[in-house]
Amino acid sequence: MPNFDLDTLERQVEELIRTCRQLREENDSLRTQQEQLVAERAGFIEKTESARSRVETMISRLKSMEEEL
């Protein structure tokens, strides 16, 4: 009977080790994905700011042209 408990414990420890490895790999993958998404978001923010600046410049030019008329 004590041998059975030891075998059971050994299997449980092995399963725990496999689960930890799997979770570590998944965590690494998620961290990589997060880094990529953060970089992509920064690019979108930069493009949005650039577009907003260009639109504001166009609006200013149109207002200036309107005042000249």
State how far the Cα of 65 lies from the Cα of 58, in Å rounded to an integer: 10
CA distances from residue 19 to 28, 33, 38 in whole angstroms, order as listed:
14, 21, 28
The predicted structure's pLDDT at residue 29: 98
Q: What is the pLDDT of residues 8-61, one digit of tens each?
A: 999 999 999 999 999 999 999 999 999 999 999 999 999 999 999 999 999 999
Confidence at residue 69, expressed as pLDDT on a 0 to 100 scale: 74
Work out the pLDDT band at 66, boundaries 50, 70, 90. Answer: confident
CA dihedral 38, 39, 43, 49 (to 10 degrees): 50
pTM exceeds 0.75: no
Per-residue pLDDT at 23: 98
Question: What CA–CA distance (Å, rounded) separates 39 from 13?
Answer: 39
CA dihedral 8, 13, 17, 19 (to 10 degrees): 60
